[in-house]
Amino acid sequence: MSFEEAEILRRRAEDFLENALKLLDEGKYDLAMFSLEQYCQLILKYKILIYKASYPRVHSLRRLIRELSDIKKDILDLVNNMDYLHYIARIEEAYIAARYLPYTYEEREVRDIIRFVLEVFKPYVEKI
């Protein structure tokens, strides 16, 4: 692992989060959800890369969260708490839905998921 590679992942993750907020304001809810998923996936991979020198080449947020639990156990709350797990699963589904399914998201559900990411997911990940 190089410091450069890790920083690219971190920067790209933050850019996806910023993009999700912008897309939400523009009413592009499907793309906002996809950008949120990309943020979550990349920031988890960034944290894994920093501590383990590599990361699994998977898209599953649940698997990445479990991988990180080797470093900080309380991140498992994101998959053990049923309320949080529902959000994680919805975000994870956005990767497939945005690319392959004729599914559209509504503004209120995207706003709710963004709130979860900013108020719950991000603080858990930042503690690592």
Encoded amino acid at 17, one letter: L
Nearest one of 71, 108, 76, 67 to 90, comparing CA atoms: 108
Task: State the pLDDT at residue 32.
Answer: 97
Domains of the chain from N-terminus onward: 3-126 (1.20.120.330)
Task: State the pLDDT at residue 99.
Answer: 81
* CA–CA separation, 97 and 65 (whole Å): 21
* Residue 64 · residue 125 · CB < 8 Å: no
Task: State the pLDDT at residue 1.
Answer: 62
* CA–CA separation, 36 and 20 (whole Å): 6
Tokens of 75: 């991140």
* CA–CA separation, 48 and 93 (whole Å): 21
Task: State the pLDDT at residue 101.
Answer: 85
* CA–CA separation, 20 and 42 (whole Å): 14
Task: State the pLDDT at residue 102.
Answer: 86
pTM, entire model: 0.94
Residues of the chain where predicted confidence (pLDDT) is lower than 70 = 1
pLDDT digits (tens, 9 = 90+) for 19-47: 999 999 999 999 999 999 999 999 999 99
Task: State the pLDDT at residue 100.
Answer: 87
